[in-house]
Structure 1
Amino acid sequence: MINIGGQRLSADHLFDILFNGQPVALDPAAVDKVSTNHLFLKNFANEKLIYGINTGFGPMAQYKVSESNRTQLQYNLIRSHASGGGKLIEPFLIRAVMVARLNSLMQAYSGVHPDLVHLLRDMINAEVYPCIYEHGGVGASGDLVQLAHLGLALIGEGYVTHKGDRKPTAEVFRQLGLTPLQVHIREGLAILNGTSAMTGIGMVNILQAKRLLSWSVALSAMTNEIVEAFDDHFSHELNVVKPHRGQNRVAAMLRDLLAGSRMIHDRADHLYNPDNIQREVFEDKVQEYYSLRCVTQILGPIYDTIVSAEGVVTDELNSVNDNPVVDHRNNNIFHGGNFHGDYVSLEMDKLKVAITRLSMLSERQLNYLLNDKLNQILPPFVNLGVLGFNFGMQGMQFTATSTVAENQTLSFPMYVHSIPNNNDNQDIVSMGCNAALMTKRVIDNSFEVLAIQMMTVLQAIDYLDAASRLSAKTKAIYTELRHLFPKFIEDQPKYEDLRRMADRFAAESPAGITFNA
């Protein structure tokens, strides 16, 4: 089990929870602190005016709420803000959101009753996922709308998905013996006021971005093999004199992937040979196109962006991000804005731009392979049939080009797109959940673009009868994926092949490649 509350959660922990089905457990010492924190709030709140306990919310905070209405106030908050629209967020993303909210509450600065963290744990382990919608959050007082739908499920209302079916929460709770949350003092506000939706989705984006980069490196290696490129552009000696961490890491990955390849050329053998120097026109290209030669310089910044985003969003995952902060250690309550999602919003925008760039590199490498006038070794569109009668990968290029264009448009930053709302109480907002969801769309799009490139690479390798000359690691990738997408000559619809290949890329990194941050 993954222990929540007794350690700093990492991307690796979240990976195990999301993709390896690891259940979560609550650290007993941390639960004791949650209980202590709750009791402190109950005692401290007597005879004091504290936001969200005996006041309204947001611009309504100047209105005092009577003692008799305090509990109902929390229910009103949850129900009124469960107002999301658009598509349902996918269940595995909801799992990430729930883990992020649980981890924040387990820091014991939110004043919640331990019943809340126990119920959240039980729902995660039973795979009961609230129906949360994409539209609604502005990322200022946290992900209010998205987390209100989480709160709605916690109090036994609304709908959840369980074992793939959408059902009323009350029905699923009865089946599983779960008891709906009873509000004690501020559980409603503590659930809503936080960055856990954008953070959970953002962490998934980072995990998937690592897979994307790994596939991009693999495709770049195989594309360089197909065109029999020179080895010096990914050499240690060339890259080490430009001391960016990402560039040198990508170069090392390429060298490892291409070790033993009989298709990559040594420059000294081909262009430093005295027999060749006498020629007026060289058959071997002196330098490849940028999309082949500048892979380390293009993917290096993307690698660094992913690593940076992981650090920032992991800090947010382990933060106390609601308001006010209930601090029993210092015997006080502090009002402020830890719910503001700027950290996540900015990192998601940077990640989105980086992944769009990755998809652009893939599209350029794809175009190089499809255009016989550029590569001069493959038939047009890597058509293994009759030219003019068959079409090869021609139709699939349209999909790749269109999808990259969509990524480019989606890359406009959400971080600078603040719209004041909430009677101007929220006069500058982060749009963090929007940023995370749009980044996810760019990542999903990019898996499709890379899948089309891989389908083309496989066809090209077979046209050149080059499988036996690949490196051991690229040969293993070729062999596995050729079973998934067999060689074709006659024209057939490819949309199902594309879906299978994209799903394969999204499910697991290529064998032999490790994203080591």
Structure 2
Amino acid sequence: MKLITEKHLTLSDFRDIVCNEKAVTIDQTILEKVAKNHEFLKGFASNKIIYGINTGFGPMAQYRVSEENLIALQYNLIRSHSSGSGKPIDPILVRGLLLARLNNFLQGYSGVHPELVELLVELLNKKVYPVIYEHGGVGASGDLVQLAHQALTLIGEGDVWYKNEMRPTAEVFAELGIRPLKIHVREGLALINGTSCMTGVGLMNLLQAKKLLEWSVLLSAMTNEVVEAYDDHFSHELNHVKHHPGQQAVAAMMRSLLGDSKMIRSRKKHLYEGDKMDQDVFEDKVQEYYSLRCVTQVLGPIHDTIEQAEKVLVAEFNSVNDNPIIDHENANIFHGGNFHGDYVSLEMDKLKIAITKLSMLAERQLNYLLNSKLNEKFPPFLNMGTLGLNFGIQGMQFTATSTVAENQTFSAPMYIHSIPNNNDNQDIVSMGSNAALLTRRVINNSFEVLAIQTMAVAQAVDYLACQDRMASATLENYRQVRNIFPVFVEDQPRYRDIEKVKSYFENADPVVSHAAQITSKKL
């Protein structure tokens, strides 16, 4: 059970509640603040014109709504905006959305009744998730359409995911004894005005992006190891003179991973010591290709992009992002645009560009291992059968290449794709949910590419029979992968193997995690 207090939630808290499905409970002090804020709104709203309470919404805000229709106004808002389309959003992402919306209300600036907070907690703890669709939000009055589908569930309508099955909300609520939300003052507007969809999806993206980076560092280390690369490109001496924390962190992780390898070569020992000047043509490459030699310079900016995105998204997660802001402490109501998703949208665009580059590095390292003319070490396509008769990794390479190309197309920014709408009331928008969902697609694609890369690396290890010379960390990863994907010689369909390795990558903690923790303490 996770007790939510007035202390800001962290990315680790988000992971515990969303990914590990830890139940939540709310500190009584917070509930009292929410109740006090609600009571202030009820009193303050009397005999005043306040947007979204006794007016229409958006460009229809100039129309006053009569007293007898105030509650119907909120229900109309929810129902009219439940107009999403496309694929349903993954239930785990919806769990993240629910937590993000709950955390917004717990700040005590939304004027909602405590019953709403209690209902959101009940849905999280009973693992009942609204069915929400990918298409609809433009990310300016927040994620209006996605959050309207969330609100539709809360009032007992629409559909939910329960035990991995899509069912009518009313049916599941009756089965579990859940009481639908009763609108009090402005719960409809408070529910749909905000950045909780893009933020919930974005935080899940961050968790997976961190994992992707660690896998990429590990696979880069293994690729350098099997080709017996030199050690100076990830040395402290080379990387500490480039003053970027990400580059230095990646280099430190590679040193930790490869510290006890008997395959990585010392440039000093192999090229500087002894008489090497009697050769006119060197058989060994003096410097490796960039995809091997420039790992710290390529993955370093990705590391720093992830770190910056975490700062921004955790700040958004703990922010008040609806409108208007109900400030009972200053006895006033403030109208503005805290629902605007530009912060999240921009970080998601940066993150998907960074992860696309990570997938491009993986594809180039894969190509190096499969191209015998480049590596001069392995048979074409790491074919361990009969050349010409068998095909090795050739078919899987096509999948990796085409998937990286798709990533490159998806990496066009959403942040600058503002299209005015809502009778030009929303004349500049963020497209934050689109940005977050496209980033999710790029991340999923990248796990596929890295799965194929690791299958090739494992074949390279078996071709060399070099297990006794590998570093302990890389050997452990090799063994884990071989438990899922055995060495092969004869050609067989590999699509199920790719999915198994991808699933392992998505759910396991990389061996490099320990090295990353050590590195973060040193920096």
TM-score range with shorter-chain normalisation?
Answer: over 0.9
Q: Which amino acid aligns with 1:374?
A: L
1:485 paired residue number? 485
CA distance in structure 2 between the partners assigned to 1:396 and 1:512 by the alignment: 25
Matches within 5 A, 1:111-130: 111-130=111-130
Q: Which amino acid aligns with 1:432?
A: G
2:415 paired residue number? 415
What secondary structure is seen at the aligned counterpart in 2 of 1:339?
A: coil
CA contact (8 A) 1:403 1:445 kept: yes
1:169 paired residue number? 169
1:277 paired residue number? 277
Matches within 5 A, 1:12-23: 12-23=12-23
CA distance in structure 2 between the partners assigned to 1:61 and 1:340 by the alignment: 18
Q: CA deviation at 1:346?
A: 0.2
TM-score, normalised to structure 1, is: 0.99
1:97 paired residue number? 97
Q: CA deviation at 1:503?
A: 0.9
Q: Deviations over 1:247-304 (max 9, x none)?
A: 0000000000001100000011100122323222222211100000000000000000
1:497 equivalent to 2:497? Answer yes
What secondary structure is seen at the aligned counterpart in 2 of 1:275?
A: coil
Please identify runs of 4+ aligned residues in structure 1 that moved more than 6 A. Answer: none
1:212 paired residue number? 212
CA distance in structure 2 between the partners assigned to 1:269 and 1:369 by the alignment: 25
CA distance in structure 2 between the partners assigned to 1:423 and 1:491 by the alignment: 59
Q: Which amino acid aligns with 1:180?
A: P
Q: Deviations over 1:340-367 (max 9, x none)?
A: 0000000000000000000000000000
1:33 paired residue number? 33
Structure 1: unaligned runs, 5 residues or longer = none
CA distance in structure 2 between the partners assigned to 1:347 and 1:27 by the alignment: 31
Q: CA deviation at 1:511?
A: 2.2
Matches within 5 A, 1:203-282: 203-282=203-282
CA distance in structure 1 between the partners assigned to 2:497 and 2:221 by the alignment: 22
Q: CA deviation at 1:512?
A: 4.1
1:447 equivalent to 2:442? Answer no
Structure 2: unaligned runs, 5 residues or longer = none
Q: Which amino acid aligns with 1:311?
A: K
CA contact (8 A) 1:31 1:114 kept: yes
2:381 paired residue number? 381
Q: CA deviation at 1:487?
A: 0.2
Q: CA deviation at 1:17?
A: 1.3
What secondary structure is seen at the aligned counterpart in 1 of 2:160?
A: strand
CA contact (8 A) 1:5 1:107 kept: no
Matches within 5 A, 1:8-87: 8-87=8-87
CA distance in structure 2 between the partners assigned to 1:235 and 1:424 by the alignment: 56
CA contact (8 A) 1:271 1:277 kept: no
CA distance in structure 2 between the partners assigned to 1:412 and 1:512 by the alignment: 31
CA contact (8 A) 2:214 2:512 kept: no
CA distance in structure 2 between the partners assigned to 1:140 and 1:20 by the alignment: 31
Q: CA deviation at 1:27?
A: 1.6
What secondary structure is seen at the aligned counterpart in 2 of 1:326?
A: strand
Q: Which amino acid aligns with 1:186?
A: R
CA distance in structure 2 between the partners assigned to 1:69 and 1:218 by the alignment: 61
In the alignment of these two chains, the number of paired residues is 517
CA distance in structure 1 between the partners assigned to 2:41 and 2:32 by the alignment: 14
CA distance in structure 2 between the partners assigned to 1:372 and 1:37 by the alignment: 69
Q: CA deviation at 1:429?
A: 0.3
**Higher deviation after alignment, 269-278 or 73-82:** 269-278
Task: Name the % identity.
Answer: 65
CA distance in structure 2 between the partners assigned to 1:259 and 1:452 by the alignment: 26
CA contact (8 A) 1:276 1:282 kept: no
CA contact (8 A) 2:253 2:512 kept: no
Q: CA deviation at 1:191?
A: 0.4
CA distance in structure 2 between the partners assigned to 1:379 and 1:425 by the alignment: 62
**Higher deviation after alignment, 277-286 or 422-431:** 277-286
CA contact (8 A) 1:143 1:193 kept: yes
2:133 paired residue number? 133
1:392 paired residue number? 392
CA distance in structure 1 between the partners assigned to 2:330 and 2:4 by the alignment: 23
Q: Which amino acid aligns with 1:81?
A: H
CA distance in structure 1 between the partners assigned to 2:444 and 2:458 by the alignment: 21
Q: Deviations over 1:407-451 (max 9, x none)?
A: 000000000000000000000000000000000000000000000
CA distance in structure 2 between the partners assigned to 1:346 and 1:512 by the alignment: 29
Q: Which amino acid aligns with 2:186?
A: R
Q: Deviations over 1:46-68 (max 9, x none)?
A: 01000000000000000000111
CA contact (8 A) 1:372 1:379 kept: yes
Q: Which amino acid aligns with 2:204?
A: V
Q: Which amino acid aligns with 2:456?
A: T
2:300 paired residue number? 300
CA distance in structure 1 between the partners assigned to 2:407 and 2:24 by the alignment: 35
What secondary structure is seen at the aligned counterpart in 1 of 2:134?
A: strand
2:360 paired residue number? 360
What secondary structure is seen at the aligned counterpart in 1 of 2:333?
A: strand
What secondary structure is seen at the aligned counterpart in 1 of 2:123?
A: helix
CA distance in structure 2 between the partners assigned to 1:488 and 1:20 by the alignment: 35
